[in-house]
Structure 1
Amino acid sequence: MRVIHNAPASAEPGLIPVASYARTSEDFRKRDSHGVNNQHRINERSARAHGCVVVAMYTDNGRGASRPGSERPGFDQLLADLKKGIVYEGKPLRGVVSVADDRLYRRVEDFARFFEALTCRPGRVQVDQDGIRDPHTKEALLHAVRSLAAAGAETESRSRRVRDWHWSRAVDGMPHSGPRPFGWQEDRITLHPVEAALVRSAIEGRLNGKAVRAVAREWRELGVTGTRGGLPKAQTVTQIITAPRVCGYRANHGTLLLDPDSGSPIVGQWEPIVSPEQWRAVCATFEAGSRSALRGGGAPGRTGEKATPRYPASGFLRCGAELAGGGACDQKLGGGKGRSARSPYTYACKFCGRCAVSGPLVDRAIEELLFPTSGAGRVRLPRAIEQRWKSGEMGFDERRKVIASVFTCFVVRPGVKGNQAWDYSRVTPVWKWADRVASPVHAA
């Protein structure tokens, strides 16, 4: 969100303070935010033409709005400020301007959230290139519903065209159109001499009983990175060696494509790394239901399922260990069963292996950050939330939602070898909207 510093501090007669919202689904051509910048420029023109002034800009660049769970921090902050009626610097806010309604919402849930925030106070307006609307009227609501229906129909039509396009390419045996697959060169057909050799060696090693975690560690030690620059992990290696493309077979959305006449797998146009027999054999080394093989077309993974968190801080913890080359590891700590009554579960970094911590102690540190027992904390949650949390009335999912509403993540430093005392300062919180709260504190 960007506040316009030369905007009037209060609305002058006939000059309504509004927020400009801009969103694009993709920014892959020039990667210079030109799309959202153009939208803001048009929004300012529309605001001036209809007696309004832009006092703040909210942007979600390269973020879609069609899929459930899409993250749009700019949109979320816009709704929060609309409910308060002011922007961060205290300027009044009485409406929103956008180039079209579908920039704001494409799903019913977002539509409901937006209209609730916009109409929570009287005198609000919604502006676009066609004019200014009173969102409290029946006509404005009908206009918004029609826009929502049109956006939904457009999204479905576009999704169908994309699915059909990918399916047609797949049945013709053409390579995937996404990022270059590991093991092949940019043409996606010719083998990459170094990467293909690594994949072949990994498959042979797995067939001889080698763990994929060991393969991933060897690749990292060799300085190998993925085609998008990421460091190889066990799940990454599993996905690579179980993908049907390694033996020349074509898959679509994780499903192996078969010829409708012969029933045989469709063979792609690229050079294979191993034989189909080797591919089937390596897929068979993974147990049924293995969550490491979500994208392997021949592996017995539960394709389409998403692992649910089992421990309160799962997904929130980051490894603070320093790597040999400098910088922090910053990988997520995974939860697992502990070996003692004091630590029935633990959080540990499976990437570098240098950071592990007792689960209950970390959860206690997070609770102390949320509800400090001594002095004023950095945030003050309602008393009712604290009572429900500490009484045990609050459920697991709701506790995680409370944590997510306050913190972005927590950085956990490795402990000191031989020191059995628990140090709360090992858990450093990363607060949401850190610029709006007091100086950082640790749990005490």
Structure 2
Amino acid sequence: MASYARTSEDFRQRDGHGVRHQLRINERIAHEYGCRVVAVYTDNGCTASKPGVARPGFDRLLGDLTRGHEADGQALDGVVCVADDRLYRRPEDLARFFAALTSRPGRVYVDQRGVRDPYSQEGLLEAVRSLEAAVTETRVRSQRVSNWHWARAVEGVPHSGPRPFGWLGDRITLHPEESTLAEQAINDRIGGKAVRAIAREWCDAGVTGTRGSRPNAQTVTQIMTAPRVCGYRANRGALLLMPETGQPVLGQWEPIVTPDRWKAVCATFSPGSLYLHRGSGTPRLTGQRASPRHLGSGFLRCGATRSDGTPCRGALCAQKGRSRKSPYVYTCGSCAHCSISGPLADEALERILFSEAPPGLRLPESVRRRWQSGEAGLDEKRRNIASIITCCVVRPGVKGNHAWDYSRVEPLWRLPDHSPSTAAIG
């Protein structure tokens, strides 16, 4: 029998004590019901509520259940776990687990309530009821945490986490050197100086961030445009306003500049600026998402197969590459088992667009001329791609094979009656 344990967090002791305790309880439960544990699977500090979070232990468990045995050849006749929500908190994981568990006959599922038959309708209904309870608990807990953060924010309490640049460890008192640098950077930016130039000056002067990293253009922008520099409080990526007056909530810390200076420096960045693509607590004043920088962003899907035999189909995201030939690569953010050179993938997209499109979806010759002459911009090119394909599935490459294979990128064509008109795509 396989024993599975999972904890959502292990940030205090960081010693895995939570999963160890669960595994001991699993041993006791298995002994009580005449079972023997032959394999152990754990995920320490892994949430099961959020999509896209890798759980190696859970994936290995499903793979071994599907094969029928663990790595040493021991047969797996079932699974023991302290509670259902350790295994699954999302419908997708429930379906994957039951498919793997029931892939062989005669298996059982054991928890503190006893032995369950996963093949019966009652066993499946009980699992669904457990899932509904777990989803409800997750929502209630999330709302409780959200309300707690909102209440602290309304009182002007500083953000938790790492010390913000410009303040001392108490997050209230200004850091004499860093606050002066931040104020000067704001004045320089309002005066027309480039952010990259400011970042270079900081690097040349030996300035480091609060975590010891060298400042770059984006981090300098985050420091200058964060609402905290003028004393405003933000929550969940938006300025926090008092419900009674509609005025911004003031924090308990000392401000670096006045609100007018903060608004002035934020106004120096154009809508959709990548520098303003920031995390929570630093809202983007434009209200617009940063536009994609690469041709294939949003169109490429992972063609790798998960350990349980199901296709991944996660989105491939552009990341910085390590070579001149591939200054950027598209990598799967879900399984990380599939990546492809960015320039070669974009070249494959162009080939698909003009050489492989079926007759009903072929673009006019004028579109090809604009594309190849350089007249078409990135947005226009992406509209052209979206007009004939829904996405492209990228098969994983073969390790050690350096030859480029265009067939790795397989398009999923749009229906002819759903493609935009020629006028709409430029």
Fold shared, TM-score > 0.5 on shorter chain: yes
Q: Is residue 43–residue 98 contact of structure 1 (8 Å, CA) maintained in 2? A: yes
Q: 1:318 to 1:40 in 2, by over 3 A?
A: farther
Partner of 1:359: 343
Aligned counterpart for 1:52 among listed residues 14, 32, 35? 35
Q: Is residue 314–residue 333 contact of structure 1 (8 Å, CA) maintained in 2? A: no
Aligned counterpart for 2:45 among listed residues 47, 62, 70? 62
Output the amino acid matched with 2:247.
S
Partner of 1:328: none
Aligned counterpart for 1:441 among listed residues 366, 389, 400? 400
Quote the Cα distance in structure 2 between the aligned partners of 1:244 and 1:217: 24
Partner of 2:146: 163
Please give the per-residue CA displacement for 1:300-329, whole angstroms capped at 9, x wherever unaligned: 2536x79596336753654379xxxxxxxx
Partner of 1:246: 229
Quote the Cα distance in structure 1 between the aligned partners of 2:141 and 2:157: 21
Q: 1:167 to 1:204 in 2, by over 3 A?
A: same
Trace 1:14-413 onto structure 2 (pairs within 5 A). Answer: 18-295=1-278, 296-297=282-283, 299-302=285-288, 310-311=295-296, 314-315=317-318, 318-319=321-322, 333-334=327-328, 359-360=343-344, 397-400=391-394, 402-403=395-396
Match of 1:20, SS?
A: strand
* Alignment RMSD: 3.2
Quote the Cα distance in structure 1 between the aligned partners of 2:173 and 2:286: 28
Q: 1:105 to 1:306 in 2, by over 3 A?
A: farther
Q: 1:217 to 1:299 in 2, by over 3 A?
A: farther
Quote the Cα distance in structure 1 between the aligned partners of 2:120 and 2:256: 64
Query: Shift in Å at residue 260 of structure 1?
Result: 2.9
Quote the Cα distance in structure 1 between the aligned partners of 2:90 and 2:293: 24
Output the amino acid matched with 2:84.
D
Please give the per-residue CA displacement for 1:344-386, whole angstroms capped at 9, x wherever unaligned: xx99xxxxxxxxx98229989xxxxxxxxxxxxxxxxxxxxxx
Quote the Cα distance in structure 1 between the aligned partners of 2:294 and 2:110: 42
Q: 1:230 to 1:319 in 2, by over 3 A?
A: farther
Quote the Cα distance in structure 1 between the aligned partners of 2:8 and 2:82: 14
Please give the per-residue CA displacement for 1:192-223, whole angstroms capped at 9, x wherever unaligned: 23332332233223223333334444444555
Q: Which structure 1 residue ranges, 5 or more long, are not aligned?
A: 1-17, 322-331, 336-345, 348-356, 365-393, 407-428, 430-439
Quote the Cα distance in structure 1 between the aligned partners of 2:258 and 2:35: 66
Quote the Cα distance in structure 2 between the aligned partners of 1:180 and 1:200: 17
Q: Is residue 242–residue 299 contact of structure 1 (8 Å, CA) maintained in 2? A: no
Query: Shift in Å at residue 249 of structure 1?
Result: 0.2
Output the amino acid matched with 1:170.
A
Greater RCO (CA < 8 Å, at least 6 residues apart): 2
Query: Shift in Å at residue 237 of structure 1?
Result: 2.6
Output the amino acid matched with 2:288.
R
Please give the per-residue CA displacement for 1:422-443, whole angstroms capped at 9, x wherever unaligned: xxxxxxx9xxxxxxxxxx6351
Output the amino acid matched with 1:319.
R
Q: What is the number of residues matched between the two proteins?
A: 333
Query: Shift in Å at residue 294 of structure 1?
Result: 3.0
Query: Shift in Å at residue 124 of structure 1?
Result: 1.6
Quote the Cα distance in structure 1 between the aligned partners of 2:225 and 2:86: 39
Match of 1:181, SS?
A: coil
Q: Which moved more, 1:22-31 or 1:196-205?
A: 196-205
Quote the Cα distance in structure 2 between the aligned partners of 1:306 and 1:98: 45
Partner of 2:307: none
Please give the per-residue CA displacement for 1:124-145, whole angstroms capped at 9, x wherever unaligned: 2212223222211122112111
Q: Which structure 2 residue ranges, 5 or more long, are not aligned?
A: 301-315, 332-340, 349-387, 404-426
Q: 1:60 to 1:310 in 2, by over 3 A?
A: farther
